Structure 1
Amino acid sequence: MKFMTKIITTLLLFISISISAQNPKAKEYYDKALKNITEKKSVDAIENLFKAIEKDSTFTDPYFKLGQINEVARNQENAIKFYSKAIELRPNDPLLTQGYTYVGTRLLRAGNYAKAKEYLSFSIKNVSANSPIMKQLTRQLEQCKFGEQAQKNAFELIAKDLGAKINFKNKQYFPVVSPDNETLIFTARSDDGDENLYISYFENGQWSIPKSISEQINTPDNEGTCSISADGRTLVFTSCDGKNSLGSCDLYISKKIGNDWSSPQNLGASINSPFWDAQPSLSNDGRILYFSSDRQGGYGRKDLWMSELNEMGNWTKAINLGTTINTAYDEVSPFIHANGRTLFFASDGHLGMGGLDLFITESKLNTYSKPENLGYPINNFEDQVALFIAADGSKGYYSSNVNNNIRLFEFTIPKQLNDKFKRANYVKGIVQDASTNKNLSAEIELVDLKTKTTIQKVISDAVTGEYTAILPNGSQYGLFINKKDYFFKSLTFDFLEKSDADGKKINILLDPIKKDAKTILNNIFFDSGKVELRPESFVELDKLQLLLKENPSLQVEIAGHTDDIGKEADNQVLSEKRAMAVADYLIKKGVNPANIKTKGYGKTKPLVANSTEENRQINRRIEMSIL
């Protein structure tokens, strides 16, 4: 009865229309219904409205009033039925604007853009300028126009259900896939509402039976909506009303060492609030966290926020991503692609097809580009929320409602979407001591050699020695493996012109700093036939200078090597001068000249046969050895 009283109270605010019925008895029943509404006698009001219709089925007013009653009661099917009948009886009547607006809004939500535009166009002509309803209708008509155009520009997208093995419960959602496309983590909900995280591995061409990710993580509380670093060793997930919660839903973190996950810890007040904090997305190195929150201080209902892990290992106070991303409505389910620059998210505030649509934006120098709708059929009239795109840009993963069940799907990324972001490669392997083959915990640092900025910094697993690094297309990189008391190791990758993406497995053997130890300086560059160092070399040379500064007693030999192209004498001179160029740089940076010896070997000590251009490039090198 309280709910019906609320209905009646709300109806008193509606504009009543009053046009005489052809049947006086029908008009009498209608007037009784209006009196019932005033007296908050809802059941009597509805009964009298139906009696009015029985006496005169062409009497518009009772249909309209029944539409209002059902709108307030949130009975959408009946509201549409009665409003539509009123509009049919008296089309183009401004007094029926509320009905036009309600039906038009539902047509929009059903994806019937043409019909919705017809209804809403009528409404917008009959509401006050600068009113809230005018703003709503203007926005809805823009959505109708956008939806029609998006459907005309549709691209092919064929989705594949991941099958009963993965979709083993009634509800699975928020998938996450490792950079090598071999591990799938997702949230699944039991019939009793308990959410847990599950993991599956791609083996022999198919996904394995999902298992609980860890007894340390899954509990009788809800654990879901997770994100994991590229190396699979930092996990952030959402738990609502969990242990040490600061409010509604909080974010928790767990670390994996060897095969064991640590006990999850609340990420604390720098990230969590007394409000809803959920749907995390970690950068590939686990040092930047994006999430959605409805906390105070935002621009809308739910906004996107971010926090960074500082050099002290603490998360900075979360900051709002700003008005380029966030609107007065909802922005949820952020996903930062492995390339570190492309952010996907869902929003019902940016122009879309109605409801929550998926958008893409690019970050550069902490500035985001204007979000772009991903188009049809990725987006449609329903809510699109969670999207994950593989590092190599080959596959996309999402969840969708199928017959009241939520199932996981995959699809091949269409060219129209692939052209919008850079793909990312991966390098993974094991770091070991070159002498003992003992697995080592070492720092893996990825540096953009063009900009000299550190793109990623991770630590190899202390137990297994495993590491994973992500290298986006579009630049030239140096990968440096550093550990105290060891020579650093460097790898070089030139992805300036690369458009596809793949992965490599490279095991790293670190040499302890001792006599006769030798390493190749892979990120020292010269133009063909020249002895001047290219600027991309300075990152590695500065690391070498730091190593020699920290070990002032070390005496080293810098050796130059060439391939077999050209005259032997010319190669000998070239190798000597290049070695001297490296030594000169180090000396200018403060290294003791007495600790550096240079030597050129020309073509006399190839590492591989000079049979291909790739092999010759390997033989053109600078080496350093301890004397």
Structure 2
Amino acid sequence: MKTKHTNSFYKTAGRTALCLFACTVMQQATAQVDLRIKQAEQYYAAGDFLTAANLYEQYLKPSAKEKPKADFPLNAKHGRQGSSMGKGVTKNDLLYKQAESYRLAHYLPQAAERYKAVAAADMANYAHALYWYAVCQRALGNTTAAEESLNEFLAKATANDPYRAAAENELATLKFVKQQTVRPDTVMYTFNKFTLSAGAEKGAFAPLHIGGDQFIITGTEKDTVAQAGVNPNHNRLYAVSLANNVLHVSEPVALGADAYTNQGAATISADGKHLYFTQWKTENGKQVFAVYHATKTAEGWSAAAEVSTVNKGGSSKHPQLSADGQYLFFSSNREGGKGGYDIWYASVNADGSVGEAVHTGAAINTAHDEQTPFYHSATKTLVFATDGKAGMGGFDLFTAKGEGNNWSTIENMGYPVNSVRDDVYFFTSDKQNLLKNAVFSSDRGSECCLETYTVTKAPKKKIFTGKVVDKKDNQPVANAIVLINANGKQLKVTTDANGRYTTEIETDADGTVTVSKHRYAEKQSGINIINTDESDWSSTKFTNNDIVLDRKIILTPETVVTVYFDFDKHNIKPDAAFKLDSLYDILVKNPGAIVQISGYTDGLGSEEYNKILSDKRAKACADYLMAKGVDSARISFESFGACCPVEMELINGRDNADGRAKNRRGLINISYPPKEEE
């Protein structure tokens, strides 16, 4: 289980606003220094953690003109043993609250520094600061420091310490991180980061591709007039164009938001007529989320309206249409879930209206938060972020195959898609491949805020293999020629000493396999995969069913009738007809006798053409005998092209016409039934 270190996932929608508010400081022209502490508490309660952290900083480190306050004005926390500055709370109390503020605002270096200072100054009362210090260090990529701090905390913690289980889970997270970062298949991933055009300071996350180089992203704008206790930065939807991995941001999409309202995390229908997005504001110190719908008109977007079927109780956010447009997935903490935010879905009608919501079930959801869903219709894969499953820390992206509330076991998408920070808002416009030019948001590369990345994973090689065996003794047939026809492409390979053929195939294994070998009847069969092995990180091995070859009757001079053909012809000449008539008489006198006809050509012409011509010559002999009344069941024929010449066609580099003439032949083997023993 991941360590849950956020109250809810409003950070994925509002953290960019906090990031841009890093340097905002409330300047109060009053002699009452404690007003900043009261305001810090107000901002903290409202979820504006960065402003709270800055106000704590002003009080803890006053300017040179201010005299340090003798005591702290908040209600005393009795029993503290730290360096109390008079009656009331200690300096460490406020330093710890500042560390919490920085952590929740995702300024982790600042948070780690203060957690460490508090733990060093007051271990008796703030031993659990070691735990939070470790969480920050893990998220900063300092796994060694994180592990040392966790072990130090666990050595001091009692058996019933409320942080013990969380610390043990965090150690498991560090173990998972170490396993993931040494995976060999990381070389198959290609990443790019979207940056913002010069002068654009709006942030960019939750990307939505709307066609070509056009995207809609969630960014931030700042109100012109700041109000005490109100965060002046608000999330808005922006239309942007992409060029060379740079997002060029335009004006916000006009959707009727006021100065107190945030909008973001949008999804749009394939025809571009219906836009669904999250809208939220702070009410009574609590952020309330709802999903809204707007329709495209000739004048622009219509006034946004709540999607009532989605917003039934609790908060709902992060709407995302399935790729086929049939369902709207979203995250909600409404009743009927597993706890926290869960993934829900509802059918979408042709007019854009949304049906009743359905829970995706226990296989997907946990008691923690599941959010930012995306459903890839082609592969029937749900991608979502959760902090309720073992992962690399923060929110990881997971996948599950299925539909409705019937899902396979969920799988962590693993490193490098996931990081030790938060990885959310996955999306791809590719209709076939989940990890081809996919985009997602992550704060892995920043001090605090979500940024947009693209990722493509190179497909695994597809290896096609099989075995050729002899029908009589089931022994491998070496040096057989194997022609593989798969989806319009032909590959030619030769079996090894173990009768096995192996080749890389670019498409799914679907087609035919034709095997030929001297003294064996040619065999063609459809591809029949009997095993698929995906254990190798770089390739998937498809094993074909064994191909069994029949041996041909070995021809002997005593039983062979030879007929000859003119160059590039397959008609029966008079002398050939004489021999075939004589053969017919033998077959009439020996009802049990059968014949095998083999057609050959000279060495001129292509292999493919000669195969066809030799087949026509063998068939011509068979047709001649059947026309005279020989039962077709007594006749078989094979074609060998230019195989097995009986005469040299070149002598001392010069053409041997007589030799070629003798190679243009048909061989007819007569087999008699075995004599009964006396």
TM-score (norm 2): 0.46
Q: Normalised by the size of structure 1, how large is the TM-score?
A: 0.49
